Amino acid sequence: MISPTELRKNIYKILDQVLETGQPVEIKRRGSVLRIVPAEPVDRFQRLASRPEIIKGDPEELVHLEWEVDLDLP
């Protein structure tokens, strides 16, 4: 929760943050709470950066990977 003074100082930064994250911001004024929320839900997956260098090799091989392991447990 932030104060109106903090909102006034950083209004553009706060509004951009709400639009980017979808997280509402609450402002307390005269004993009441106001909330700034985006009108439409934010799709956080749209903001993900492509990182093709993370998977080394053919990604299709991961689909057919065998996860079962024979363990010789005592």
Q: Domain for residue 63, yes or no?
A: no
Q: Which phi and psi (to 5°) does residue 42 adopt?
A: -95, 130
Domain containing residue 20: 1-26
Share the mean pLDDT of the chain: 84
Q: Domain for residue 39, yes or no?
A: no
Cβ neighbours around 19 below 10 Å, total: 13
Instruction: Report pTM.
Output: 0.57
pLDDT of amino acid 42:
79
Residue the block writes with tokens 């980017």: 20
Domain count, the chain: 1
Q: Domain for residue 68, yes or no?
A: no
Q: Domain for residue 15, yes or no?
A: yes
Q: Domain for residue 69, yes or no?
A: no
Question: What would the pLDDT profile of 11-21 be if each residue is shown by its tens digit?
Answer: 999 999 998 88
The rounded distance, in Å, linking the Cα atoms of 58 and 47 is 24
Q: Domain for residue 37, yes or no?
A: no
Average pLDDT over residues 36-56: 81
The rounded distance, in Å, linking the Cα atoms of 8 and 23 is 19
Q: CB neighbours of 12 closer than 8 A, spacing ≥ 6?
A: none
State what percent of residues in the chain have pLDDT above 70: 88
